[in-house]
Chain A
Amino acid sequence: MFSSQLKKGSIELLILSILDDQPLHGYEIGKLIEFRSEGKLNFRISSLYPVLCRMEEKGWIAGRWVEKAGQRRRRYYRLTPKGRRALSAEQETWVEFAAAVNQVIGLSHA
């Protein structure tokens, strides 16, 4: 639907936003992005998973193995305080960026 370049540029912001409400495991993150975008944004594991790794390494999210009765264990990711700060910064940047782009392409009424 969207070019992979376009998707790549926003994926971290998407994950941060999704995880803002609740801790999720990897598959749920992908599903939720797809669901909220009404199927317009979907990521394969090969694109999503390394980003999770990278974000965890940056300390924005933290992963933890959780075992629930009768289920195999899953790795749940939650936002860290650092991630929360990153989220608001990314949101701001995104809004500014979108506004700037809109302004340039003439969709803005500013």
Chain B
Amino acid sequence: MRDWKRYAREHLPLHEMKGGSGESIIEEVAGQLEDAYLEALERGLSEEEAYSFARETVGDWDALADAIVKTHEAETISRAEAWVERSEQRVMAKGGGFAWLVDAQRDIRFSVRALRKSPGFAAIAIFTLALGIGAVTTIFSLVDGMLLKPLPYSDSEELVYMWEKLASFENATVAYPNFLDWRERNRVMNDLAAFNDGSINLTGVGDPVELDMVRVSESLFPILRAAPLLGRTFLPEEDRIGAQPVVVLTYGFWQSRLGGASDVVGRTLMLDDFAYTVVGVMPRDFVFPPSGQHVDVYVPIEQFAQRWIENRGSHPGIAVVGRLNPGVSVERAFDDMERVALELEAEYPDENEGSRVHVVSLHERMTRDSRGAMLLLLLAVGLLLLIACTNVAGLVLARGSSRQREIAIRTSLGASGPRIVRLLLTESLTLWLLGGLLGIGIAAFAIDALVQLRADAISPLFQVGIDVRVVVVTLAVALMTGVLFGLMPALRSVRPDVVESLKEGGRTSGSVGRNRARTALVVAEVGLAVALLVAAGLTIRSFLKMTNTNPGFAPESVLSVEINLPTARYPEEAQRTAFYYDLLDRVRALPGVRSAATSYVLPMAPGGWQTAYHAEGESPEEDGVYTFAEVSSVSADYFATMGIPQPRGRDFTRRDGEPAPPVVIIDEVMAQRYWPNEDPIGKRIKFGTFESENEWMEVVGVAGHVKVNGVISDALPQFYIPHGQHNERGYYLVVSAVGDPTMLAESIRRAVLEIDPAQPIASVNTMDEYVRTSSADDEFQALLLGIFAAVALVLAAVGIYGVMAQATAERTHEIGVRIALGATEQEVLGMIVRQGMTRVAFGVAMGLGLAVVIGRIMAGSLFGVSALDPATFVVAPLFLSAVALAASLVPARRAVAVDPVRALQTE
């Protein structure tokens, strides 16, 4: 017995048909063959004759297979169309306005089914889109949380932030008497509140500890409309010099230090050796100051104002918040404060000459530093998304050409052009939506990672994360780009002639239109990638420049510790100096300590001291424009400990004390400015202006210039005065260690407690850490842009490869002809690569144009790198071109390797 089934299966290539229908058809055909065979045998033919008789009953196997497949496809499609029609009619019959929704749902179900038929294509497309959309979602949720959402204070748009502008200082903190006058004289604000931060030592609750404190006007809480969780906030009469000390606790401090005791209100806390009565506890989600810095306690500011209240020339780190009257714009508030400032200038010409007020919305003030960076990142992920979309559009287009037969069949079955476009578009949109959903998943992880990475820099006031807004925007972006990028391949697919595609053996010749679409894709992709690569290159170069720039000191192996002596226990300067000198002696004797010193301010650490000064021999200052410098009060060994070079003169010693003549060490910038060709040793400067009566200080040494505020900012000239001649209550202790500096923290703490068992230490940090923090924003930016650029590069390479491979494959026949006609492999290779690289060249040109625009946007945030940095502008496109060349060489090589005979046979 012959195996007719096997015979039929071998002749009917129906294995691609789904649902086992191919097998059923084979069985049926085999049955008929067998019938014919058996009949022939019955008629008396030999087995051999019967066999050939049976075979002849079939006729043309290929035509049979083709006809079956075609009928089957048409059957599936038309069944689906019938179902569509029926459900459409059902929906219409119900007359619901949701017809389109049902429609869309059905189209999507269709698309999902179609995509499942080619899982490889679907997976690559969805993943590519998820990368692009996920990146956009991540950055958008940052932008949304930080720039777009209102701050979580009630009616937060009425809140403004104010600080002073001095004749010689663009940004100055507020003099307390000025604040009092602003509060009194303005006509646009409901109320104003001043605040500044400091530290205060807590004793009597466990180990002594330094608390982070914010001094605030009693009006602050009403302005923010913030109610306490327990107790009350401050009363106006408590915000006065000499009033009863009271304190409001943050939720965190109440929980961590006081165990969340419910009877905390009314208790007293020993703060800097004064008994403070706890009057209230703020709720957990209360954040102030808006920067989100750590706070333990709030105290009324005016209780601390003895030194400021009569001194309009003192600007003790105060900033002011206010609530505008309803309907008042920030501009009007600014105008009104200008009026107030002019009045005050007229009344107090000595201190207020040229003094004005900055008024900006609180939200703007909080976001102005990150705004540029955020928008650049958003731009970068926008480019990345476009690249991803371009890639997928290329994939869809390539798939479209292999689906032309299906489309032609649909058309021949009466599906209209718009109907097919809609189906294909839905298929694209389904890809994009799935990509979007996966992207949101990716973003959820990425956002967590980013927020963790920047936990100290992102205020808790900003609610960064995936919420309904972010999801809605993401899906909107997905749909928009889906329509935009899905429409082109969809429209391109219905264009080709129906008859042409249905013709058997119809060779898919690269139509001019499809070629043009492909060229556009490559050009766009290369262009976008070049732009992104340049942006990332500039940022990374800028960051590297920054980290490679000498900050003017050697932060390695230096530990810093902050110590603030409470005035209650150390009322006299001599006591404080004695404490620090004693501490220095003890610390210098510790094993592992190379040297130790004290300094009032540290480069790149929080805090700072800027002052007007006058160099002897200079002309008097005019129009309130003073000369400013950075100052610190330092002990002996400071320069050695910090690794600051000291090219001339001597160091301070303990002999530079109160009775000794005032001395100063200046930096090279100041030396160069006033005594460029002379020895500055022996010259004199003084605090204040030409007219001020401060004592002259004699220059005894010159130190190297230090980048005090991070390497980006151009620092003012600097001078140092000896610890013994200027005494503050709080100092940093800096220690240069032989090994790991952090190992010293504990022994330093013990040394402090040996001198004063009630004295805590705070802010234990290495100088390395301060340096790193100062460039953390830029590192973050460089890291993100670097990642985006790398992803863009991979996507672009894959995209270019895909397009080139498809284009080359379609030209196999032509290439065969050329080779058959005598073209050498080199010539053909050159032709293909040339064609690919011409597109790349156009893309590079477009990308460089785009990059110039982006560079201009970035210019402000670049350090040591021009926005048109030649290296970046040359390397980035070269790099991309090399990748593109590799991507087009692979398919080109494959094409020329094809045997011309076989290539011609593919017809």
Which residues of A are found within 8 Å of B25, using beta-carbon distances? 53
Q: Does A40 contact B (CB under 8 A)?
A: no
Q: Does B75 contact A49, Cβ atoms closer than 8 Å? A: no
A10 to B806, CA, bound (A): 44
A27 to B60, CA, bound (A): 17
**Shortest beta-carbon distance from B787 to chain A in Å:** 54
Task: Output the nearest chain B residue to A75 by Cβ-Cβ distance.
Answer: B28
**Interface residues as binary, B10-33 with A (CB distance below 8 Å gives 1, 0 otherwise):** 000000000000001101110111
**Interface residues as binary, B58-74 with A (CB distance below 8 Å gives 1, 0 otherwise):** 11110110011001101
A56 to B31, CA, bound (A): 18
**Shortest beta-carbon distance from A2 to chain B in Å:** 15
Q: Does B68 contact A45, Cβ atoms closer than 8 Å? A: no
Q: Does B189 contact A (CB under 8 A)?
A: no
Chain A interface SS verdict (over half):
helix
Which residues of B are found within 8 Å of A46, using beta-carbon distances? 58-61, 63-64, 67
Q: Does B71 contact A53, Cβ atoms closer than 8 Å? A: yes
Q: Does A44 contact B58, Cβ atoms closer than 8 Å? A: yes
Task: Output the nearest chain A residue to B79 by Cβ-Cβ distance.
Answer: A57
Q: 8 Å CB contacts to B: which residues of A43-82? A: 44-47, 49-50, 53-54, 57, 72-75
A47 to B68, CA, bound (A): 10
Q: Does A23 contact B (CB under 8 A)?
A: no
Q: Does B57 contact A (CB under 8 A)?
A: yes
Which residues of A are found within 8 Å of B68, using beta-carbon distances? 49-50, 53
Q: Which of A45, A54, A57, A72 contacts B58 (CB 8 A)?
A: A45
Q: Does B29 contact A49, Cβ atoms closer than 8 Å? A: yes
A30 to B32, CA, bound (A): 10
Task: Output the nearest chain A residue to B8 by Cβ-Cβ distance.
Answer: A45
**Shortest beta-carbon distance from B75 to chain A in Å:** 4
Q: Does B64 contact A49, Cβ atoms closer than 8 Å? A: yes
Interface core residue of A25, A46, A72 (most chain B CB under 10 Å) = A46
Q: Does A57 contact B32, Cβ atoms closer than 8 Å? A: no
Which residues of B are found within 8 Å of A27, using beta-carbon distances? 31-32, 35-36
Q: Does A45 contact B29, Cβ atoms closer than 8 Å? A: yes
Which residues of A are found within 8 Å of B57, using beta-carbon distances? 30, 44-45
Which residues of B are found within 8 Å of A49, using beta-carbon distances? 28-29, 32, 64, 67-68
Q: 8 Å CB contacts to B: which residues of A14-58? A: 25-27, 30, 44-47, 49-50, 53-54, 57
**Shortest beta-carbon distance from B32 to chain A in Å:** 4
Q: Does B63 contact A57, Cβ atoms closer than 8 Å? A: no
A75 to B31, CA, bound (A): 9
Q: Which of B24, B27, B33, B71 contacts A50 (CB 8 A)?
A: B71
**Interface residues as binary, B30-42 with A (CB distance below 8 Å gives 1, 0 otherwise):** 0111111000000
Given A45-B29, A45-B32, A46-B58, A53-B72 contact (CB < 8 Å): yes
Q: Which of A25, A26, A57 contacts B75 (CB 8 A)?
A: A57
Q: Does B78 contact A (CB under 8 A)?
A: yes
Q: Does A57 contact B74, Cβ atoms closer than 8 Å? A: yes
**Shortest beta-carbon distance from A31 to chain B in Å:** 8
Task: Output the nearest chain A residue to B36 by Cβ-Cβ distance.
Answer: A27
**Shortest beta-carbon distance from B876 to chain A in Å:** 58
A87 to B59, CA, bound (A): 27
Task: Output the nearest chain A residue to B76 by Cβ-Cβ distance.
Answer: A57
Q: 8 Å CB contacts to A: which residues of B721-751? A: none
Which residues of B are found within 8 Å of A73, using beta-carbon distances? 27
Chain A contact-residue range equals 10 to 19
A50 to B29, CA, bound (A): 11
Which residues of A are found within 8 Å of B63, using beta-carbon distances? 46
**Shortest beta-carbon distance from B71 to chain A in Å:** 5
Q: Does A50 contact B78, Cβ atoms closer than 8 Å? A: no
Q: Does A50 contact B64, Cβ atoms closer than 8 Å? A: yes
Q: Does B64 contact A72, Cβ atoms closer than 8 Å? A: no
A72 to B71, CA, bound (A): 26
Q: Does B75 contact A47, Cβ atoms closer than 8 Å? A: no
A11 to B39, CA, bound (A): 23
A25 to B31, CA, bound (A): 10
Which residues of B are found within 8 Å of A53, using beta-carbon distances? 25, 67-68, 71-72, 75
Q: Does A45 contact B64, Cβ atoms closer than 8 Å? A: yes
Task: Output the nearest chain B residue to A42 by Cβ-Cβ distance.
Answer: B57
Task: Output the nearest chain B residue to A55 by Cβ-Cβ distance.
Answer: B71
Task: Output the nearest chain A residue to B4 by Cβ-Cβ distance.
Answer: A72
**Shortest beta-carbon distance from A96 to chain B in Å:** 26
**Shortest beta-carbon distance from B59 to chain A in Å:** 3
Q: Does A26 contact B60, Cβ atoms closer than 8 Å? A: no
Q: Does A26 contact B31, Cβ atoms closer than 8 Å? A: yes
Which residues of B are found within 8 Å of A54, using beta-carbon distances? 71
**Shortest beta-carbon distance from A49 to chain B in Å:** 6
A49 to B36, CA, bound (A): 14
Task: Output the nearest chain A residue to B63 by Cβ-Cβ distance.
Answer: A46
Given A50-B71, A57-B78, A26-B64 contact (CB < 8 Å): no
**Shortest beta-carbon distance from B814 to chain A in Å:** 34
Which residues of A are found within 8 Å of B59, using beta-carbon distances? 44-47
Which residues of B are found within 8 Å of A72, using beta-carbon distances? 31, 34
**Shortest beta-carbon distance from B60 to chain A in Å:** 5
**Shortest beta-carbon distance from B510 to chain A in Å:** 32
Which residues of A are found within 8 Å of B27, using beta-carbon distances? 73
**Shortest beta-carbon distance from A91 to chain B in Å:** 24
Given A44-B59, A46-B58, A26-B32 contact (CB < 8 Å): yes
**Shortest beta-carbon distance from B67 to chain A in Å:** 4
Q: 8 Å CB contacts to A: which residues of B55-114? A: 56-61, 63-64, 67-68, 71-72, 74-75, 78
Q: Does B31 contact A74, Cβ atoms closer than 8 Å? A: yes
Which residues of B are found within 8 Å of A47, using beta-carbon distances? 59
Q: 8 Å CB contacts to A: which residues of B646-697? A: none
A73 to B28, CA, bound (A): 9
A49 to B67, CA, bound (A): 9
Task: Output the nearest chain B residue to A47 by Cβ-Cβ distance.
Answer: B59
Given A57-B74, A57-B75, A57-B78, A50-B31 contact (CB < 8 Å): no
Which residues of A are found within 8 Å of B74, using beta-carbon distances? 57
Interface core residue of B31, B32, B67 (most chain A CB under 10 Å) = B32
A45 to B78, CA, bound (A): 25
Task: Output the nearest chain A residue to B54 by Cβ-Cβ distance.
Answer: A45
**Shortest beta-carbon distance from A45 to chain B in Å:** 5
**Shortest beta-carbon distance from A75 to chain B in Å:** 5
A47 to B34, CA, bound (A): 18
Which residues of A are found within 8 Å of B32, using beta-carbon distances? 25-27, 30, 45, 49
A27 to B72, CA, bound (A): 21
A50 to B33, CA, bound (A): 15
**Interface residues as binary, A73-106 with B (CB distance below 8 Å gives 1, 0 otherwise):** 1110000000000000000000000000000000
Q: Does A50 contact B28, Cβ atoms closer than 8 Å? A: no
A53 to B17, CA, bound (A): 14
A50 to B12, CA, bound (A): 13
A44 to B33, CA, bound (A): 11
Which residues of A are found within 8 Å of B34, using beta-carbon distances? 72
Interface core residue of A45, A53, A54 (most chain B CB under 10 Å) = A45
A72 to B67, CA, bound (A): 26
**Shortest beta-carbon distance from A105 to chain B in Å:** 31
Given A27-B32, A44-B58, A57-B64 contact (CB < 8 Å): no
Which residues of A are found within 8 Å of B31, using beta-carbon distances? 25-27, 72, 74-75
Task: Output the nearest chain A residue to B33 by Cβ-Cβ distance.
Answer: A45
A65 to B72, CA, bound (A): 18
Interface core residue of B24, B28, B61 (most chain A CB under 10 Å) = B28
**Shortest beta-carbon distance from B621 to chain A in Å:** 98
Which residues of A are found within 8 Å of B29, using beta-carbon distances? 45, 49
- Given contacts A25-B32, A46-B59, A53-B67, could you give 5 more A-B pairs where the C-beta distance is less than 8 Å? A30-B57, A44-B58, A50-B67, A57-B78, A73-B27
* 7 smallest beta-carbon distances between A and B, as pairs: A44-B59, A50-B67, A46-B59, A27-B35, A46-B64, A57-B75, A27-B32
23 A-B residue pairs with Cβ-Cβ distance under 8 Å, sorted by A, are A26-B31, A26-B32, A27-B31, A30-B32, A30-B57, A44-B57, A44-B59, A44-B60, A45-B33, A45-B59, A46-B59, A46-B61, A49-B28, A49-B32, A49-B64, A49-B67, A50-B71, A53-B25, A53-B68, A53-B75, A72-B31, A74-B31, A75-B28
